[in-house]
Homo-oligomer: A and B are copies of this chain.
């Protein structure tokens, strides 16, 4: 089982992959989210792991857009407690730091702590947390730190200057597992869909009524722009239940009657560990 993930070894997506599949799967590092989708779509990998949302910084919108551009299904979710570390080359002290490299989401999650700890240091956004750690090592940079996982520090022989850098310990990232083939899970399950509504008053309200009338619990709604139609939107909705359940299948049939576009991204087992129970 080859599982594509974005980032360098030591990335949080790699940890999520290991949590979901156990030690037997082979994690395959990818340079971009696009590459994750393409490797799964082409059959080069069997599954893909992508972050979709963080409990502090919000959604990873790129992955919402990529879900729509590819024909893959969501077959699982993993909710991971994310703990960030301030990482530097051995011997580098806090007072030496002029720059902090990390993914913008990680910088956001540590914003207040960084402001207090390193008020003058420049924050430099990168595409990757673990990749930022690798960069420090390669350049032997004595004036920069990275924000990344403990594993990334260990892999590159770097020092951890501070642990638990995140502003709030309630820091969880939700990852989706992608596959070419949909599954039909039993309860407790979650289903993800994307739809667009007509651009008329009350259209979103009517769309959500198909769930409310059946007491189906929405866990997430996200809007993304409809390309070429300024100020119209796709709505991504997650709800509790599987399409195997009649009331969920009926809700989707009902929504098809009123939506201008509808696609089911997949039903999959809920992750009830960690903060999963709260979702």
Smallest beta-carbon distance A125→chain B, Å: 5
CA distance A78 to B218 in the complex (A): 33
Q: Does A208 contact B (CB under 8 A)?
A: yes
Residues of chain B within 8 A (CB-CB) of A168 are 227-228
Residues of chain B within 8 A (CB-CB) of A275 are 230-231
Residue of B nearest to A203 (CB): B218
Residues of chain B within 8 A (CB-CB) of A200 are 217
Smallest beta-carbon distance A174→chain B, Å: 8
Residues of chain B within 8 A (CB-CB) of A221 are 204, 221, 223
Residue of B nearest to A169 (CB): B228
CA distance A212 to B205 in the complex (A): 7
CB–CB A229/B170 < 8 A: yes
Smallest beta-carbon distance A110→chain B, Å: 13
Interface of A is mostly: mixed
Residues of chain B within 8 A (CB-CB) of A218 are 201, 204
Select A225's contact among B55, B211, B219, B231, beta carbons within 8 Å.
Answer: B55
CA distance A202 to B251 in the complex (A): 14
CA distance A171 to B12 in the complex (A): 34
Smallest beta-carbon distance A157→chain B, Å: 26
Q: Does A137 contact B (CB under 8 A)?
A: no
Residues of chain B within 8 A (CB-CB) of A125 are 104, 125-127
CB–CB B209/A205 < 8 A: yes
Smallest beta-carbon distance A134→chain B, Å: 16
Residue from A204, A220, A229, A275 with most neighbouring chain B CB atoms (10 Å): A204
Select A278's contact among B55, B56, B215, B231, beta carbons within 8 Å.
Answer: B231
CB–CB A279/B201 < 8 A: no
Residues of chain B within 8 A (CB-CB) of A126 are 125
Known: A104-B125, A230-B279, A231-B278. 20 other contacts (CB 8 A): A53-B225, A58-B224, A62-B108, A125-B125, A167-B227, A170-B229, A170-B230, A172-B230, A200-B217, A201-B215, A201-B216, A202-B211, A204-B218, A205-B212, A219-B231, A220-B231, A222-B223, A230-B275, A230-B278, A231-B279
